[in-house]
Structure 1
């Protein structure tokens, strides 16, 4: 199994477990900058050098050795499950991806046909009922996660706890898990703990958002997308995310965490 989704600076100053839709583009660029004094030119997800990634075969033994001996400071970042699944819908389902095509090729036609979802036409810019389509997408996301039908769940909407747990189960330990919603505080705490070749000023770092502009703008407040049934589905999919990462299930309109993450609890509950 190893350590899927794990990135490490070339200098081995820090190790990061990527959780999709949780500021991973910005975090990756900060890591790259801290080693090289410049940002990667392009989407950091496309970088095949200048940084170690589990997806790069040559990096795997280095990452494995580091993680298993806990040589470097290790962290990850989480996000409110309500806003994360909404972001996935607008970016991955409604949006045109950076290659000019729909995400995962035949996925959107399948959703249109089987779940009656609308996505704003061929270019994602047409008008459609965002709330009705999102709720149908949520049903599809639940089906993929609970029943693996009509396909395996996608990393962008599978539960954060699942991503976070693979690192622990295979022998890693986190020093910090912080909130996307309190990004500067969390990333600042990480940077204080590690030695970097190039100082990072978080106030001057642009937010790298690889999904920005891919899809239509969200027209309504977050809470409008989640009726009683939607919230039931969200709880079914993301119960552990709400509990472990201290987000407010009862109020979809409150994106901020309502407690502090207990690292010991996370390691105990996700280390099975």
Structure 2
């Protein structure tokens, strides 16, 4: 299986397991900058050189050797599951992608037909009932995760623990897992632990958000989107994420973690 979703700097100074919707664009750009002294011109997910990625065949033996030899610090980043699934909805379902089209072609029309999801359009200023449509999307997301119907779960709403576990199961070990909500503090710890060719000033790093400005803005506080049924579905999908990464299930508006992540616990529970 190897190490899907893993990026490594060309200098092999650090190894990152990508978790979608957890600041991965910003982290990738920081890694790129730490080697080249500049940011990639465009979406870092489109970069075909300047950064090793498991999806690139010539990078695979280098990544595999570095991971298995633990020759560079390995890390990843997590996010509150409530905020992450909302971000997935507004970016991938309600938003227009950077190519000017809807995500995954016929996905949104399929959601409209099967689940009654309405996400408006640029022509009407994305005027739709956000709460009602999000809750219907949540039923769809649960169906993909639990029954893999009407499609396989998308990487943007499948559980963080699932992404993170593949790295462990195949022989990797994380040195750090930090919170999107404490991004600068966590990323600084990573950078302080590596021997990168170029020093990066985190205070000067812009936030790279590929979806910014291409869709509707969230109109309500987080808890308004989650009634009792929605929270039941969220627990069904993400209970391991809440427990392992110390997020507050009881208060959707509290995006901050309630404690520190126990790396030994993560490796023990996700490595089997």
1:89-100 counterparts in 2 under 5 A?
89-100=89-100
Q: Please tell me the root mean square deviation across aligned C-alpha atoms, in Å.
A: 0.8
C-alpha distance in structure 1 between counterparts of 2:196 and 2:57, whole Å: 25
TM-score normalised by structure 2 residue count: 0.99
Task: Provide the residue aligned with 1:133 in structure 2.
Answer: 133
1:162-177 counterparts in 2 under 5 A? 162-177=162-177
Deviation at residue 126 of structure 1 after TM alignment: 2.8
Cα deviation 1:218-255 (Å, max 9, x = unaligned): 00000100000000000000000000000000000000
Instruction: Point out 4+ residue stretches in structure 1 off by more than 6 angstroms.
Output: none
Take 1:191 and 1:117, find their aligned partners in 2: how far apart are those partners?
42
Task: Indicate if the aligned counterparts of 1:169 and 1:271 stay in contact, CA closer than 8 A.
Answer: yes
Paired residues of 1:96 and 1:124 also in contact (CA < 8 A): no
- 1:83-142 deviation per Cα after TM superposition (whole angstroms, max 9, x unaligned): 000000000000110011100000000000000000113657331100000000000000
Whether the 8 Å contact between 2:126 and 2:215 is mirrored in structure 1 is no
Aligned position for 2:217: 217
Q: Any gaps of 5 or more consecutive residues in structure 2?
A: none
Paired residues, number: 272
What SS does structure 1 have at the residue aligned with 2:112? helix
The 1-side partners of 2:6 and 2:245 are apart by 20
Deviations 1:138-191 (A, max 9, x none): 000000000000000000000000000000000000000000000000000001
How do residues 114-153 of structure 1 correspond to structure 2 at under 5 angstroms? Answer: 114-121=114-121, 125-153=125-153
Residues 145 and 123 (structure 1), Cα distance of their counterparts in 2 relative to 1, 3 Å cut: farther
User: Given the two structures, how large is their TM-score scaled by the length of structure 1?
Assistant: 0.99
Distance 1:84 1:269 in 2: 22
What is the distance in 1 between the residues matched to 2:124 and 2:73?
41
CA distance in 2, matches of 1:176, 1:123: 44
Cα distance between partner residues in 1 of 2:67 and 2:29: 21
Q: Secondary structure at the match of 1:194?
A: coil
Contact 2:15/2:72 (8 A) holds in 1: yes
Q: Residue 122 of structure 2 contacts residue 215 of structure 2 at CA under 8 Å; is this kept in 1?
A: no
SS of 1:8's equivalent in the other structure is strand
Q: Structure 1 124/92 Cα, relative in aligned 2: closer, same or farther at 3 Å?
A: farther
Are 1:124 and 1:216, in contact at CA under 8 Å, matched by a contact in 2?
A: no
Query: Any idea what SS the aligned residue of 1:186 has?
Result: helix
Q: Does 1:39 align with 2:39?
A: yes
Cα offset for 1:215? 1.5
Counterpart of 1:198?
Answer: 198
Partner of 2:83: 83
